[in-house]
Amino acid sequence: MASLSATIPSCNLKSGFLGEMRGFRVPSSSISRVGILKKPVECKESRIGKQPIEVPSNVTITLEGQDLKVKGPLGELSRTYPREVKLEREDSGILKVSKALDTRRANQMHGLFRTLTDNMVVGVSKGFEKRLQMVGVGYRAMELSRTYPREVKLEREDSGILKVSKALDTRRANQMHGLFRTLTDNMVVGVSKGFEKRLQMVGVGYRAMLEGNDLVLNLGFSHPVRMAIPNGLKVKVEDNTKIVVAVMTSAQSGEVCCFNQKVETPEPYKGKGFYPVKKNEVE
């Protein structure tokens, strides 16, 4: 009896990742590199940077390469410009800031240095100002020199008398008239006679004393309250319960009185605390 024999293909159990498995060969192909196309960056001209800068007649411009010097009635400023920016001056005196390179950084520097250049010209000719509003109980600012607004006019007669008058016929000028007359009078009185404010201490065991440059207050606490006397103030104590503050401006003495009243606010039932006695000029 003839034996039957079958030829079975051998199984090559190599890793499928190599392309061969169970006797079948997987054709391999090379993968070509994928290139990424970069879109060119379009550098637009700055709308602020292309605006010309007008130079007033009282301002002197000195341009040496990338260095600019601006001199005016209020002072002198200088600046060095980067290589991405080019500064030119026309025959009419107008300054122009342009880009020296066609790059993204040059586009960023264009508008920035145009604004900085314009600020330099305005700063030495007109200047800038910022206003601060103080909000708080007893917050005051002190000055003995004063700038008057355009609504008020200050004149001095031959006899030495100062007169404050309105420069404009407006509602604001009417408001400023009396205010700046009072402020002017306070300046004259402050540097000649001075002002004083008095506080009366009311309470059992309340006492005040001076120790060097400190005002020591006994207010019924477990410890005395010490207060450093600011420069320019003269403080004296009378009868251990009366505090007299003398100064050139009433605003300064008001700060001390507000502080004392804040430490011990007048109590409505027993009447303890600090009480202002009177406000007058030092004779």
Q: Flag whether 47 is in a domain.
A: no
In this prediction, residue 231 carries a pLDDT of 72
Q: Are residues 186 and 220 in the same domain?
A: no
Residue 10 lies in a domain: no
Question: What pLDDT, on a 0 to 100 scale, did the predictor assign at position 27?
Answer: 56
Neighbours of 106 (CB within 10 A): 20
The SS3 assignment for 218 reads strand
Cα separation, 155 vs 27, whole angstroms: 105
- Please say which residue of 168, 192, 216 terminates a domain: 192
Phi first, then psi, for residue 62 (nearest 5°) are -125, 115
Which residues lie closer than 8 Å to 105 by C-beta, 6 or more apart?
Answer: 84
**R_g of the chain computed on alpha carbons:** 41
Q: What is the pLDDT of residue 11?
A: 45
Q: CATH no. for residue 209?
A: 3.90.930.12
* pLDDT mean across residues, the chain: 77
Burial of 128 (0-12, 13-18, 19+ CB in 10 A): exposed
Residue where one domain finishes, among candidates 85, 109, 125: 125
Residue 160: give the domain boundaries.
152-192
Same domain, 76 and 64: yes
Which phi and psi (to 5°) does residue 189 adopt? -70, -35
Within a domain: residue 110?
A: yes
pLDDT, averaged per 10 consecutive residues of the chain (283 residues), comes to: 48 48 54 57 72 89 90 90 89 87 87 91 88 74 70 84 87 89 84 79 84 84 82 81 77 61 64 67 39
Q: Tell me the C-alpha distance between 135 and 223, whole Å.
A: 31
pLDDT at 253: 58
Token couple for 196: 């004083």
DSSP 3-state percent helix, strand, coil across the chain (nearest 5) = 20, 30, 50
Query: How many domains does the chain fold into?
Result: 3
Cα–Cα separations (whole angstroms), residue 86 to 58, 96, 111: 24, 8, 12
Tens digits of residue pLDDT in 142-174 = 555 678 888 888 888 888 788 888 888 889 888
User: Among the three residues 192, 212, 245, which one is the final residue of a domain in this structure?
Assistant: 192
DSSP string, 80-93: E--TTEEEEE-TTS
Does 274 reside within a domain? yes
Q: Does any domain span residue 187?
A: yes
Q: Report CA 218 to chain centroid distance, whole Å.
A: 40
The structure tokens listed for 268 are: 């409505």
80 in a structural domain: yes
